[in-house]
Amino acid sequence: MAEQELISDLAGAQAVSEEWDALAVRASKPVVSPWWVLPWWRHVAPDLQARIVAVRSGGTLIGLAPFYVAGARMGVAEYRLMADDFGVCMEPLALPGREWDVAAAIACALHGADPPVGTIGFGPMALASGWTEALAQTWQGRLRPLSRTLRLQTAPVIVLEQDSYEDWLATLGSKLRRDLRRSERLFAEAGGSTRWSDTATLPADAASFARLHGSRWEGRGWSRLADLGPRLPDWLADVGEHLIEDRRLGLCVLEVAGEAVCVDLHLSAGSRVEGINVGWDEQWARIGPAKLALLRVVQQAFATGRSRIGLGTGGLANKLRISSGEEPVAWSALVPPSRRYLQGYATILPGLARMHARESLTRALPPPWLARLQSLRGGGS
C-alpha cells in the first residue's frame, strides 16, 4: 500500500533529495532531478508555495511529483510542476511498474491539498507518459476530473542505436555531412577549440551562456531563460554543485582566441540527455556553432553510454536536420470536481480556443507556409 507525504518547505524537499535523484536517474528523467528543480526554487521562484508529493511503499520512495501553486484565477488555484516552463518535458516520477500506484497516491494528496486544487496544468509533457489519464482515473470521489488537451506538438530527438559516433555520423544524409565537415573546417581555420565546463570554470561558463543566449534574443521576442537576467548564471552554478563533476550538467563551450562563441547547456540522467538551450555569437554564424556543439554532445553521449538525446520543443532547422525521430508532447489540464468547477473550467477556455485556432490554421495553410511559421514560433525558450 503506497503512502503519500505532502512537502511544502525547502528543508523537507532537501531531506528526500538523494532518494529523489536516484529515482530520476532510474527513470532517465534529467530535468525532474532535485538538483535541477531545487536550485530553480531557490533562484527563480523563491516565494513559491510548494506542494511536493512524495510517495513511499515499505519505506522506499517509489514516486514524487514536485507541484507548486502557480497562481489563482477566478478564485481557483492552479497547480503546476516546478520548472516546467523552459521547453523541456516535466512530469511526475515513478518507479517503473508502479505508475498507477503513484498516480493514485498523488491524486489522494492533491484531493486534500490547501488551497483546494482548481486546475492542474501540465506541459510540455511526453504524451506517452499517461500521467494526465492516470490522475483523472484515480482521483478521489465518485466524479472524475475533466481532462483536456490544450496543445499538441512534436519534439525532435536523436536516438543512438549505433556502436560509435562515426557509425552514427554515417547515417546522416550526404548533404548534411558535407555541411558539417565545412563547419568543422571553418572552425579549425579560425583556431577554434572545444572544452567542457568543470568545477573551476562553471561560474564563468554559466555567465557566458547567459550572455550569449541573451544577446541572441535581443530584439527577437521573449525568452524565459534570458528574462531571468543575473539569476540565470547563479541558478546554473547552483545546479553544478551536484551535477558538474560527473557531467550530468553539461556545458559544452566552443572558443575562438580564448573567447566563448557558443555554449550548449544540457542535463543527463540514466540513458537520456536533455538539451536545455544554446547561446552563440552571431558574428560566428557562418561556422554554425550550434550545430558543432550538438555534434560534441552526441560524441559525449556515446562516451558516457547515453542512448537518447532530447532536443526540446523548439523547431529550429538544425535540430530537425540532425534528429532521427520525434516524440509527441502535450500541454493539458485537469479540472477536478468542486464547488468552483465552472470557474476552473473557465480558466482553461483560452487555451482550448488557441488549440482550436491552431488546428484550423494547420488545415488551412499549405505545408511550406506552416513549416515556416512553426520555425519562427519555435526558435527557443
> 263-276: per-residue pLDDT in tens?
999 999 999 999 99
Write down the pTM of the prediction: 0.89
C-alpha 165/C-alpha 299 separation (Å) is 6
- DSSP characters for 282-299? GGGGGG-HHHHHHHHHHH
CA end-to-end distance (rounded Å), the chain: 41
Q: For 3-154+329-377, which CATH superfamily applies?
A: Gcn5-related N-acetyltransferase (GNAT) (3.40.630.30)
Domain 162-306 belongs in CATH node 3.30.390.10? no
Low-confidence ranges of the chain (pLDDT < 70): 314-318, 355-356, 358-381
Q: Which residues contact 3 (CB under 8 A, 6 or more apart)?
A: 55, 56, 57, 105
> 36-65: per-residue pLDDT in tens?
999 999 999 999 999 999 999 999 999 999
Specify the pLDDT at position 273.
98
Specify the pLDDT at position 55.
98
Specify the pLDDT at position 72.
84
Q: Which residues contact 175 (CB under 8 A, 6 or more apart)?
A: none
Residues 90 and 31: beta-carbon distance below 8 Å: yes
Domain ranges of the chain: 3-154+329-377, 162-306
C-alpha 350/C-alpha 275 separation (Å) is 30
Specify the pLDDT at position 363.
53
- CA of 97: how far to CAs of 62, 94, 136, 277, 330, in Å? 10, 8, 18, 32, 22
Specify the pLDDT at position 359.
56
Task: Extract the C-alpha cell encoding 89.
Answer: 518535458
